[in-house]
Structures are given as structure tokens and as C-alpha cells.
Amino acid sequence: MVLITESEPKSVATYEKLDAQSFDLRIIYTWILKHHSKLFYIQCDNAKQYLKSVIAKVPLIEAAGGLVKNDNGHYLFIYRHDKWDLPKGKIEKDEKVKVAAVREVEEECGITVNKLGGKICKTYHAYINKGEVVLKKTHWFAMKHKGEEKLKPQVEEGITDVRWFKPNLVGAITENTFPSIIDVLVKEELIEEKPAPLSE
């Protein structure tokens, strides 16, 4: 994970600093992957402006998804590619962000979203597609589901399980998920803080 910040992180001892001027996601991404258990940070004068400069150098894909809560107060997670995740997917051409978020949740989990709540946050994560580093920007929304619809994982999207988790068990997800998902859970106060990086 790379944190772009205007001030030194609180737990700075757990981070490694990267040089803001020489940082190029296309070049450094594979090196970061090899050090996946570490946290990195870039300190700059204007974090928003700096992020724009990073985005400008790589292809950007926009996606949308949701954190769904049911009548019992449980939260919906999917299991895809050996990781716990939240349902999300690419926004189609001319599709509104909120519409895409609901559509993706319903397609990936086989349920009906009964209420779309407010926007939680935006997250960014990088990956390699056809040998090229790509940045995905995901818009996250709070959602509600009523009833007892049977969960149905969208197998063709690599999803092998869909499951409701009680709030006190959501913390267990953090041991096998992505930093961007942890950001959503922290924002919604389902977990208190980001876990420390694993030692290599």
C-alpha cells in the first residue's frame, strides 16, 4: 500500500518513505508487489494534486460497489481469487455511478438492493492488465437489503462464495483482504484502524 500524504503518518515507523519527485507507478509497481507486506508513503505539499499527476500517467478504470447491510445488521462479503472482497465492478459507458454500484452488487451476489445509501469513499488500487499498469478508482456506497434471498455467487466473475458477516466478525476479514477494502471498513467504523503490516 502507498499512502499519499501532506504530513508524516502517525505510525511512521511502520512505513517506508518513497521519493515524491522520482515516483512513477509504471516503474515502481512491480517492485512494490515484491514487498507487498510493507507500507509505503509519499509526502507532498498537495496530496490531491499529486494523486492527479500519478493518475495522468497510467490508464484509469472507474468502478463502483457497495457495503451491504441486512435487517439483522450483518454485512455482505464475496470471496474471489482467494481473498475476501466487497462486490464491485466496472462502470459501463454512459452508466451513472450509483446505478453501476447497485447493478454490480446484485449481479455478483444474486440479491436485490432495497435501499441505496450515501457514498462511503473512493479507493484506488493498481494492477497489471495485458502487461500494463492500470489504476482502478472505485466509488463505494452504503446499501441495505431486506428479506432472506438466497445468496448466489457470480461464478463467471471468479466469485466462489458470498456470505453475511456479523459486525463483530468483520475484523477477521482484514487478515485476508485488500488495503482498499480495509479503507472502506475503517471509514464505516467496522474496524478501528488499519492493521500493522505483516513481517516478511
- Which has the closest alpha carbon to 80: 134, 136, 131, 156? 156
Regarding whether 18 and 79 lie in a shared domain, the answer is no
Regarding whether 11 and 39 lie in a shared domain, the answer is yes
Q: Is the pLDDT of residue 120 over 90?
A: yes
Q: In which domain, by residue range, is 17 found?
A: 2-55
- Which has the closest alpha carbon to 76: 130, 113, 121, 43? 113
Q: Is the pLDDT of residue 199 over 60?
A: no
- Which has the closest alpha carbon to 123: 172, 177, 173, 79? 177
Regarding whether 165 and 132 lie in a shared domain, the answer is yes
Question: Is the model more confident about 143 or about 198?
Answer: 143
**Cα dihedral 100, 82, 137, 118 sign:** positive
Q: Is the pLDDT of residue 171 over 80?
A: yes
Regarding whether 139 and 101 lie in a shared domain, the answer is yes
Q: Is the pLDDT of residue 95 over 60?
A: yes
Regarding whether 113 and 32 lie in a shared domain, the answer is no
Q: Does some domain include residue 199?
A: no
Average pLDDT of the segment spanning 74-97: 97
pTM of the model: 0.88
Number of domains in the chain: 2
Q: Would you state the pLDDT for residue 37?
A: 67
Q: Does some domain include residue 18?
A: yes
